[in-house]
Amino acid sequence: MAFNNKSRKSNSPSHCNFCITLLFITLFTIPSFFFLNSFTTNSKCTNFTKIWSGNLLSAEFAWNSLAFSQHNNPSPIVLKVAVFSRKWPIGTTPGGMERHAHTLHTALSHFGHQVHIFTSPPEDKTISISSKSAAPSSPYIHFHEGEPGKWRYNKAFELFLEEHARQPFDVVHSESVALPHWLAKDIPNLVVSWHGIALESLQSSIFQDLARRPDEPRSQDFNKGLQGVVPKVLNEIRFFNKYAHHVAISDSCGEMLRDVYQIPSRRVHVILNGVDDEDFREDVELGKGFRTKIGIPSNASLVFGVAGRLVKDKGHPLLHEAFSRLITKHTNVYLIVAGSGPWGNRYKDIGRQVLVLGSMSPSMLRAFYNAIDIFVNPTLRPQGLDLTLMEAMMIGKPLLASRFPSIKGSIVVNDEFGYMFSPNVESLLEALEKVVKDGKERLARRGNSCREYANSMFTARKMALAYERLFLCIKRDTFCTYP
């Protein structure tokens, strides 16, 4: 976060009462408001395209559902775009935010726009920190000086000002708080994409604690974390308004920015993330070969898959417990785990029906997705919208995912796309049993529906066209009318 406020410690009764009251307000009022709003979100975007006309800055649904024309011709205006990203994926396995930035801005460069990336030095020391562009259709990379992988926004901003003096930027884009609000407040043509907010962290902490087993002690950091995150939420609500334009990566996050964070509607724009459909496409033979390579028996009745960081807030305690119970009744179902983290070794302890493969490159992930029958995402982050959900759908795999507004409002918008469960072990186990009962043929039909929907909504091209239209709106109001 872009702030360093720390709550002052006090043992006075009044202070304790205030904390308890604030905790109860947080636990019940905000989540209740959030989930009530989710019902309106879930009704949106159930069709592949949306019939709508008007000023795009007034649209409150995901821009992905609009039928932007294919980018056969160059943009009417070549934009010069500045991008602030804490990291740029060179020589490492990138996180979701870095992958989003790379996919989006590489696509915009291919459209003909001049994109400049301001980022931290690469961790691979063999790469020069001078400005780089591998090809005319690639972004220019400006690495600031300093420790590899450590973000220094002030150094990046100095490079930005130098480039801006040579030729002014039309649009400035910040990936979350890469550009802090005290600098952002003076940039009228700035767009910030929110990949995570403090209120999400608060809600995630609540669901993680609710997921504890009865015999499991509460984490010592739980109360400390709650006391620390509440001031962060309040600070965010105060300073988010300093950013000119906001991009929410889910419909429900857009509602939260408008309704809880009190950002004017015309400054909040919902654009869902996209993935490269060339990297994630159906390949049956690739999947069969991958199964053989990792040791999945040819007669396996069903193969589940999960990918990402193997940490608590991604819901792995739930999946670990539920799948452990599932295989006591179903001895021929398997779980492939792609990713690294503290829960990796615990999955290995379950036995032969769980295969833990570690982190994977995009090419390996393509084989992983093609090898499974259904993708599982047990996240405990209510505002999260993992790229893995879109990647799995793009390849034609149905989803088994947490019943959170972000997912059911923007991803699993049709029951045919998969299964949903409440974030607890019993509900997840019930959903796993339902998947096993439905079987491979039913899952394959659901997967075909997922592929069709993903190709209409979640391609990198669709995402980039939406961002391009937003940037053009900010540059010239004449491009804000749709269709």
Mean predicted lDDT score pLDDT of the chain: 87
Indicate the burial class of 81 (C-beta count within 10 angstroms; 0-12, 13-18, 19 or more). buried
How many domains in the chain?
2
For residues 301 and 241, membership in a common domain is answered with: no
Whether 310 and 337 have beta carbons less than 8 Å apart is answered as: yes
For residues 106 and 214, membership in a common domain is answered with: yes
Whether 376 and 306 have beta carbons less than 8 Å apart is answered as: yes
For residues 215 and 328, membership in a common domain is answered with: no
* Amino acid at the residue 347: Y
Model confidence pLDDT, tens digit, residues 353-393 = 999 999 988 778 999 999 999 999 999 988 778 899 999 99
Model confidence pLDDT, tens digit, residues 68-93 = 875 556 788 999 999 999 999 875 56
For residues 101 and 215, membership in a common domain is answered with: yes
In a domain, 20, yes or no: no
Q: What is the DSSP string of 374-430?
A: EEEE----TT---HHHHHHHHHT--EEEE--HHHHHHT--SGGGEEEE-SSHHHHHH
Give the whole-angstrom CA distance, residue 392 versus residue 159. 38
- Is the pLDDT at 129 greater than 80? The verdict is no
For residues 267 and 311, membership in a common domain is answered with: no
For residues 428 and 453, membership in a common domain is answered with: yes
- The gap from C-alpha 236 to its chain's centroid, in whole angstroms, comes to 19
In a domain, 298, yes or no: yes
For residues 239 and 288, membership in a common domain is answered with: no
Give the pLDDT of residue 346. Answer: 96
In a domain, 406, yes or no: yes
Nearest Cα to Cα of residue 83 among 180, 165, 178 = 178
Q: Out of 28-37, 239-248, 410-419, 469-478, pick the least confident.
A: 28-37
Give the pLDDT of residue 382. Answer: 83
In a domain, 10, yes or no: no
In a domain, 1, yes or no: no
Which CATH number characterizes residue 349's domain? 3.40.50.2000
For residues 142 and 253, membership in a common domain is answered with: yes
- Domain coverage including residue 119: 28-274+460-482
pTM of the predicted model as reported, rounded to 2 decimal places: 0.86
For residues 266 and 321, membership in a common domain is answered with: no
pLDDT band at 42 (very low <50, low <70, confident <90, very high): very low
Give the whole-angstrom CA distance, residue 77 versus residue 193. 22
Whether 86 and 99 have beta carbons less than 8 Å apart is answered as: no
Provide the token pair at 437.
């009962």
Q: Compute the C-alpha angle 157/158/163, nearest 5°.
A: 95
Tokens 């972004």, residue located: 139
pLDDT band at 131 (very low <50, low <70, confident <90, very high): low
In a domain, 62, yes or no: yes
CB atoms within 10 A of CB 14: 8
Give the pLDDT of residue 201. Answer: 81
For residues 198 and 335, membership in a common domain is answered with: no
For residues 433 and 290, membership in a common domain is answered with: yes
Question: 155 vs 38, 167, 168, 189, 230, CA distance in Å?
Answer: 41, 19, 18, 21, 30
Provide the token pair at 406.
């972000």
In a domain, 434, yes or no: yes
For residues 254 and 306, membership in a common domain is answered with: no
In a domain, 4, yes or no: no
